[in-house]
Amino acid sequence: MRAWVDLAGALALALLGLTLTAQVGQAQTSDLVSKTSLRVCADPANSPMSNRDGTGYENALAELIGDKLDLPVTYTWYPMATGFIRNTLKAKKCDLVVGYAQGHELVLNTNHYLTSAFVLIVPEDGPLAAVEGLADDRLKGLRLGVIAGSPPATHMARNGLIGKAKPYHLVVDRRHENPAIDMLDDLKAGEIDGAVIWGPIGGPLVKSGYPGMKVIPLLNETLPPKMFYRITMGVRNGEKVWQRKLNSLIRRHQDEIDALLAEAGVPLISDLGDEVIEVTQ
C-alpha cells in the first residue's frame, strides 16, 4: 500500500509539473502574442524598408502577413539602433520584427524569406556598368562610397580601393540622417564614382528615385567576410508556436513575398549566394 501511495504521489507531482510546464510554454509562445492585431516593431524612418507613413516594403510585407492572419497591423516605432529589441520586442510592446538577419541571438528567427547581397551602384551608361566584382581593374584609382565597418569595406581594402573611398556612418538615427540616400546623392552629383551598399537598401532606392543607375549584385567575392545574407522575421526567444505559425505562412506564400520584394526593387539571389533570381511580375 505504501508503495502505491508513493507512486501515486510521484505521478501527481509529475502531472503537476507537466501542467505548469505547459502553462509556462503557452505563456511564452501564445499568451504574449496579441490575438487582436499584428503588432509590429519597426523603425519609423528606415527608408526604403519601413516608414511611419507605411510606404516601405517591410510595411507592405507586414500588411501581407496581417492579411493572411486576418489581423490589422499596428506598430511600435523605435529607431533601428542600440536598444531597439530591448525597448520593443523584449518589452512586449510588439510581437514581430519583419526584417532581421538570420542567426542573431537577440531574437528567435523564423525561416528566411529573403536572400540578398551587397551591390555596386554605378551610372548605367558609364564605364563601370560592366564591372562584376571589386577586384575589377576598372575600379582602381576611383572613389567609391561605402558604409564604414560593413563587409564590403574589407574586400575594398584587400583590392586597394579603400584609400580613396568615402565612408558613410553605419549606425545612425535615420530620423535625422540617412547614409544610403547621402551616398546615392553623392553618386548622382559625381562626388563618388560608385556606391557599395546593402542590396535591399540600394536596389529599392535606385528604383524609386535614382533613374539611370545600375545595381550590380557582388556575387564574385569568394574570400571572407561573406557578402550575402539571409533575412528572417524575428520573434521573442521561446515563442516557438508563433515562430512555427510564421514559418508556415512564409512557406505557403513565398511566391507572393518574392513578387512584393521584386516589385520594390530588392535584388534577390539564390540561397547559396551564387546567382541572381529573376522574379516574373
3 vs 160: which has the higher pLDDT:
160
pLDDT value of residue 30: 54
pLDDT value of residue 23: 42
pLDDT value of residue 48: 96
Distances (CA, A) of 127 to 140, 142, 194, 199: 13, 12, 11, 21
Q: How do residues 208-262 score in pLDDT, each as one tens digit?
A: 999 999 999 999 998 999 999 999 999 999 999 999 999 999 999 999 999 999 9
Q: How do residues 50-79 score in pLDDT, each as one tens digit?
A: 999 999 999 999 999 999 999 999 999 999
Instruction: End-to-end CA distance of the chain: give it in Å, rounded.
Output: 74
Helix (H) or strand (E) holding 6: helix 2-26
Taking 60 as the threshold, does the pLDDT of residue 21 lie above it?
no
Distances (CA, A) of 128 to 87, 119, 216, 232: 43, 13, 10, 33
What SS3 class is residue 46? strand
Taking 80 as the threshold, does the pLDDT of residue 157 lie above it?
yes
pLDDT value of residue 171: 73
Lowest-confidence range among 22-36, 123-137, 214-228?
22-36
Do the domains spanning 38-115+228-264 and 117-217 agree at the CATH topology level? yes
CATH level 3 topology of 117-217? D-Maltodextrin-Binding Protein; domain 2 (3.40.190)
Which band of pLDDT confidence, cut at 50, 70 and 90, is reported for residue 31? Answer: low
pLDDT value of residue 124: 97
Q: Report the residue count for the chain.
A: 281
Domain range summary for the chain, segments of one domain joined by +? 38-115+228-264, 117-217
**For residue 141, what are the contacts with CB-CB under 8 A and spacing of at least 6?**
164
Yes or no: domain 38-115+228-264 corresponds to CATH 3.40.190.10 = yes
